[in-house]
Amino acid sequence: MASITRYETRTLECWPKAKELRMSFYKEVARARELGKILVSGGSAVIQALPAGLGDYIFLGGEPYAASVSTDMAFQQSCSEAVEARGFAQDMCGYVRMYLGSMYRNQFFFGGEFPRPHFCLQMTVCDSQGKWFQQVSEHLGIPYFSIDYPGSRNGDDWYDRGIKYLVDQFNEAIEWMEKVTGRTYNDELLIQAVRNECMSTSLWADVCCLNKNVPAPLEHKSMFPLWVIGVMMRPRKDAVDFYSILRDEVRERVKKGIAALPVEQCRIMDDNIPPWFMLEMYRYLERYGAVAVGSHHTFFLAGSFETGPDGSLVRARTPDERGLPLRTREDALRAYAIWHMEKHFFSDQFSSEVLPKPEMFVRTVREWKCDCAIIHQNRGCEGNSQGGAEDRLALLHAGIPVLTYEGNMVDKRELNMVQIKERFDSFMENMGVRKIKD
């Protein structure tokens, strides 16, 4: 039997800072009105920088909040029941159910009553998201504005048309926000927020690319609390500052050979949103020395990538690095539209034509030097789960072993951990990977 290589492991020094940022953010949300801040709520995937011109504001993203709700089994159950009692289906978007359930119960997961936003601002990349904040608007009696993401790629000029389509809607949203808040929009604040968002998402992509190293400096379970900062607050300077610190620390870990796991026998590319209440499954895989190095969701939702000179994925250059002007409102809105048009998370997964995600899935498996892939057939998110069967076939066609399991990212009623562990055992046995003896 071949000897097992053991690596040095070490807790991230910036870990306490990440925890502090997350908790202080939600305390700020709870006290937003008391502090004189504009509280905006919407989908966290996009356009968080747009309200920056209003002055002091905070953006309550629906998805990371709903994920937090789902980690508490009792709270999760009560939110599900509150939504289903109002006639909503169990198979609708899990994030919507957690957020609406918390709102209907008027109980904020982090303490006190559910915070009442001044308005809702949403970019619709799937139907569930568009209707999500319409429900919030109607229930709380607050204004709501929705921006449509240009998913169509028809015609040679689809890219330019998409940018114009977004910029026109951004301008309309700004006029609307001035009207509903009575505030005058400050373009300099917008420009800085766009710079921050582009920089923080580029830095996160840099962190993800460092995980191509063998051994991997980070493992997926620990990446989630780091990743969510970019999902929650990416237009803020504190997100840029944190990701700069994290990137430098992970670089140092790579340089010194510090690994996420003491034994790395198998590298896994994960997929889709995990069951947030059952992240222990990653610890179970670690018994095999199996490290999940990331996923399409983790990489591309909070990160922005481009193809480097050698053909590999690298962090996207910011507008300043690309020589794009950022002097006026129109400059900032155009750069912001370009940034979102080029994000793989949207172009791979939510285009209205043939989805290129299977190709990207195979690409990430190979670039991150993975031995296999795991696909969560997530009944809690139709958008992220669409094309899952095609992803699996593309991986198998490329000679990459793949395991699928069924579940729900936020609903404990739809996941059987005993069965999942049995599937993991069988999969690892077929891969020829044995459990590590203590």
What per-residue confidence (pLDDT) applies to 1?
A: 41
Domain boundary assignment for the chain: 8-431
pLDDT interval class at 75 (50, 70, 90): very high
Q: Look at 116 and 354; give whichever has higher pLDDT.
A: 116
Q: Name the amino acid, one letter, at 3.
A: S
Which pLDDT band, with edges at 50, 70 and 90, does 156 fall under?
confident
Q: What is the pLDDT of residue 435?
A: 92
In this prediction, residue 125 has a pLDDT band, given cuts at 50, 70 and 90, of confident
Whether the per-residue pLDDT at 179 is higher than 60: the answer is yes
User: pLDDT by residue (tens digit) across 195-244?
Assistant: 999 999 999 999 999 999 999 999 999 999 999 999 999 999 999 999 99
CA separation for the pair 375, 272 (Å, rounded): 7
* Cβ atoms of 101 and 80 closer than 8 Å: yes
The residues that bridge with 407 in the sheet, in sequence order, are 378
Mean pLDDT value of segment 54-82: 96
Mean pLDDT of the chain: 93
Query: pTM of this prediction?
Result: 0.95
Single-letter amino acid code for the residue at 238: D
Which neighbouring-strand residues pair with 41? 60, 120
Task: Of 49-63, 87-101, 163-177, 353-367, give the lowest mean pLDDT range.
Answer: 353-367
At 6, the pLDDT band (50, 70, 90 cuts) reads very high
pLDDT digits (tens, 9 = 90+) for 307-360: 999 999 999 999 999 999 999 999 999 999 999 988 877 666 655 454 578 889
pLDDT tens figures, 394-433: 999 999 999 999 999 999 999 999 999 999 999 999 999 9
* Per-residue tokens: 105: 């119960």
Residues 6+ positions from 201 with CB-CB distance below 8 Å? 230, 234, 302, 303, 304, 316, 339
